[in-house]
Structure 1
Amino acid sequence: MKVRILYGILLLLVMGCREEFLDLKADKQMVIPESFDDMEALLDYTDLMNRFLPWMEEVQADDYYILEENWQTLSSTPEYRNAYVWAKDIFEGDAGTSDWKTPYRIIFQANVVLDGLLKINSNMNSVRYNEIKARALFFRSWQFFRQIILYAPAYDTGGDNRATLGVPLRLNSGLHETSVRASLEESLQRVVSDLQEAESLFADVDTHIRTRPSKAACQALLARVFLYLQKYEEAGRYAGLAISNFKGGIIDLSSVNSALTFPMPRFNREVIFHSAASTPSPMTASRLNVDSVLYASYGDDDLRKTVWFRMNAGRLGFRGSYDGSSVYFNGLTVAECLLTRAECLIRQGELDAGLRDLTTLLRNRVEGYVPPTALDRNRALAYVLSERRKELVFKGVRWMDLKRLNLKPETARTISRRLGGRTYQLLPNSPNYVYPIQPDVIELTGMIQNERQ
């Protein structure tokens, strides 16, 4: 019952509520959890916390395309139609999808748990107290970071990130505070500090419940965040810790039954933390075509080419989701950690160690894999980045990678769409890499909107 009451409040716009919304919240005590069981119920509400998550970042990425006739059918949802071509005006007066609001509902849910913990004596059951607090901190950080990737510019180590707008950092469940945007520096430092606190609170034992965060999940997410921050020593260290602390491994794709419609089982041994996206309209099976250049980059002896992709009704589709369904997996995996550590080692000049990590992965992906030899640093880096794109395709990291790699000329790229006789381009570091906030949120809060060209 408490979960249902709370979820009703979550349906309100928690980002700067109107007074009539606040009037509906008659007694905050009704929805503040009072026991560990209540708190776990809120964090285990997987339909909110782990599933049906918005995915506008992947809508804009370059791993797929749609035909003009299918693009035209998106007219009833102008946000998707315009996001696909990185238009200046995304919403066209429409209210938009849930890309801003759903993550803040998750953040609110985590904050309700954290506020509830303040009313419980931590000595009563310190192990369970710490576990619940760590899980709430992880979920909050997970969504803060996702919002940063979509709604803020790339973190530039040579720029003034304290003067760059980040995202609102809602740190409690109160509804009376008006949301303001923290700086990009403050936003990312909050993510790091909360994840490091969560890591210290988690027990070392893996729960084996993949929808629940764990110490290894914290370390895997810290590796991703530090990679985005271009702090390669820290990113590689946390990736290594996640690999060491997680009791899983890499799947040999030759052992997978490729005759299945969706060959990759849910909660498989590579999954450190399970999360899945709500399929965006442009990326449904009836519209999506896998990018032909990307597909051609898989060699004929690459098992990913046959296990993860299949022709269907004349279009090349993706079927390799770790959700074991048509729903796109966007969680954390051992493979991502191996690729992160490999990239970081190579960037730090440890080519042999980095290529060993890559070999660990690719021996389970490519039949008869033979590691390359005599690669210099630039070629080794290009190699690991190419494999990162192929391995993490449709897993929710491509937009992040495009933004961070665009900061260096040698890894920057222009991406394009062709519809009919017109070509649309997104240049490296374009303002259109920063998604606009929904108009009703701007109206309610007075926050500064992201400018586009």
Structure 2
Amino acid sequence: MINKIYQKYTLIFSLLILTASCTKLDLVPTDTISPDKAFRNISDINLGLLGGYALVDGSTMNVVATVSDEATYPTENTVGNSDAFRWIYTAANGSVTSNYASYYTAIDRVNRTLAGLDALKLTGADAATGARYRGELLALRAYFHFELLRNYASSYQPGALGVKYMKVSAIIYPARDNFETVVANAKADLVAAKPLIPTTFTDKTRITKAAVSAIQARLALYEKNWGEAITYANEAIAAYPLATKAQFPGIWTDANDNEVIWKAKRVGTTDSRMGDFFFRQTGGIVLYAPAFKLINTFDKVNDLRYPAYIKFDATRTGTKSQYLVNKYIGGTSTAPGLTDIKLFRTGEMYLIKAEAEAESTGDAAGDLNALRAARINGYTNATFADKATLITAILDERYKELAFEGHRFFDLKRRNLSVERLAADAVNASGAVMLPVTQAQYALPLPALEISVNKNAVQNPGY
């Protein structure tokens, strides 16, 4: 950039000498485009909004599966990074830090688009569309900050180190906000966003009113605000009921999107293949396979989730893993692994509601049984002796229902529980069987570059 600016001014200076012009040349050097020039109309606002949506992906799902007890590192994987799986990552490892820059890039795009929207004077239909765009932008800003918080907070409790909540685009050296400050700002953005998005807007590839409720429910779960978690989960459930048994398998091949509240659309033949991370690379190498611990939790005969999530291939012999992640493989031969990324589903809302009810008052067992009955053939309602037993059952159900959707590591962290793998899942992990809550890697590190450049940044403890 500096070299280009230098060349530009050298050319201008030469032209001035050659023409011997006395005309005053007013220049305003800049490396940005002002909002009034970048966002000239409502169509430009939509393009800026789509730039924010473009960075919604499944990268957190990959990180969570690798550092938790969802996946195992098969012997055939001689090409995949193993620092995350072996819990030896540091601030220099992109496998766990790359989301930091990506999500802040998205937030920067959102804030610049909001500034552009503020500068426009819209009327008529454009004003109504602009209001919806503002709602989507505010909700996106909350979502990305929440994802940063889930990934990089030192812990999920008041006073813990969180991330900086950026409401404007600026070149600054921000200190980290505490956990509760990030939560409060995200909640405020979501509350402001919700009434701006009409109920009639139902595009699941973008943030709808129901999607705002789903984000609010998940955020309330992390805040331990049980009342709000129940309220918002109910709103999302009312908008999108659970898929039927006949519909459920088709969710994962994109045959239908029943109970999907918000999804990241994937098109073409090579766009962000979620299935590739787990299932194939050059030569069909399996990078990560389902953990035996996870496999063992399913009723393989009656649970619809087992064949939808996990594939067994007896033809893969020798050092090859016979178990494969089936959840993102998709249903076409032309673009295997190219399935829409399910960001929020009604199944999660049932489990959020059940956990919140178990912690307060309500029919937690009823919601848990309702979800199981929708997923398991011949299911008989279970009873639970006490609160601790019920919460353990809910966490176990989250392990199965939300496998490879980006929750397990964060769920254990929410509950201050160690990550524990079976010995069979840690054969190639250099002894990485248990990650205790006291180990530095229990909280992901901020990138080394952030710490070195930002004089006010503080790293998570232990790094």
**1:117-139 superposed Cα distances (whole Å, 9 cap, x missing partner):** 21124665543222111100111
Residue number in structure 2 paired with 1:104: 104
Residue number in structure 1 paired with 2:310: 309
Residue number in structure 1 paired with 2:327: 320
Would the alpha carbon gap of residues 304 and 280 (structure 1) be closer, same or farther in structure 2, given more than 3 Å must change?
closer
Q: Does 1:195 align with 2:190?
A: yes
Residue number in structure 1 paired with 2:345: 333
Q: Aligned runs of 1:46-445 on 2, under 5 Å?
A: 48-51=54-57, 53=59, 55-67=62-74, 70=77, 73-74=79-80, 80-87=81-88, 89-91=90-92, 98-121=98-121, 125-156=126-157, 161-162=158-159, 164-174=160-170, 176-205=171-200, 207-244=201-238, 246=239, 248-255=240-247, 263-265=252-254, 268-275=257-264, 279=274, 283-285=278-280, 286-299=286-299, 300-312=301-313, 313=316, 314-321=321-328, 326=337, 329-350=341-362, 353-373=363-383, 375-406=385-416, 412-416=417-421, 418-420=426-428, 422-424=430-432, 425-428=434-437, 430-445=439-454
CA contact (8 A) 1:228 1:404 kept: yes
CA contact (8 A) 1:141 1:194 kept: yes
Would the alpha carbon gap of residues 166 and 96 (structure 1) be closer, same or farther in structure 2, given more than 3 Å must change?
closer
One-letter amino acid of the counterpart of residue 168, structure 2: N
Would the alpha carbon gap of residues 204 and 139 (structure 1) be closer, same or farther in structure 2, given more than 3 Å must change?
same
Residue number in structure 2 paired with 1:25: 31
One-letter amino acid of the counterpart of residue 188, structure 1: V
CA contact (8 A) 1:57 1:150 kept: no
Would the alpha carbon gap of residues 275 and 402 (structure 1) be closer, same or farther in structure 2, given more than 3 Å must change?
farther
One-letter amino acid of the counterpart of residue 268, structure 1: D
**1:323-346 superposed Cα distances (whole Å, 9 cap, x missing partner):** 765258350111111111122112
One-letter amino acid of the counterpart of residue 235, structure 1: A
In structure 1, the residue corresponding to 2:151 is in which secondary structure? helix
CA contact (8 A) 1:145 1:191 kept: yes
Q: Distance in 2 between matches of 1:322 and 1:213?
A: 25
In structure 2, the residue corresponding to 1:423 is in which secondary structure? coil
One-letter amino acid of the counterpart of residue 339, structure 1: L
Deviation at residue 146 of structure 1 after TM alignment: 0.8
In structure 2, the residue corresponding to 1:331 is in which secondary structure? strand
Q: Distance in 2 between matches of 1:39 and 1:266?
A: 32
Would the alpha carbon gap of residues 145 and 323 (structure 1) be closer, same or farther in structure 2, given more than 3 Å must change?
farther
One-letter amino acid of the counterpart of residue 148, structure 1: L
Structure 1, 82-91 or 279-288: larger mean CA deviation: 279-288
One-letter amino acid of the counterpart of residue 156, structure 2: Y
**1:143-189 superposed Cα distances (whole Å, 9 cap, x missing partner):** 11111111112222xxxx34x32112221233x33333222221221
Deviation at residue 398 of structure 1 after TM alignment: 1.5
Identity percentage of aligned residues: 21
Q: Distance in 2 between matches of 1:266 and 1:106?
A: 30
**1:406-453 superposed Cα distances (whole Å, 9 cap, x missing partner):** 1xxxxx234246245831231025432222222223232222222336
Q: Distance in 1 between matches of 2:96 and 2:290?
A: 26
- Structure whose alpha-carbon radius of gyration is higher: 2
Unaligned runs of 5+ in 2: 1-27, 266-271, 281-285
Deviation at residue 371 of structure 1 after TM alignment: 0.7
Superposition TM-score, scaled by structure 1 size = 0.80
Q: Distance in 2 between matches of 1:85 and 1:369?
A: 37
Q: Distance in 1 between matches of 2:32 and 2:387?
A: 62
Structure 1, 292-301 or 438-447: larger mean CA deviation: 438-447
Would the alpha carbon gap of residues 420 and 223 (structure 1) be closer, same or farther in structure 2, given more than 3 Å must change?
closer
One-letter amino acid of the counterpart of residue 252, structure 1: T
In structure 1, the residue corresponding to 2:162 is in which secondary structure? strand
Residue number in structure 2 paired with 1:19: none
Give me the CA root mean square deviation.
3.0
Q: How many residues align?
A: 406
Residue number in structure 1 paired with 2:268: none
Give the counterpart of 1:39 among 45, 54, 66. Answer: 45
CA contact (8 A) 1:339 1:384 kept: yes
One-letter amino acid of the counterpart of residue 334, structure 1: T
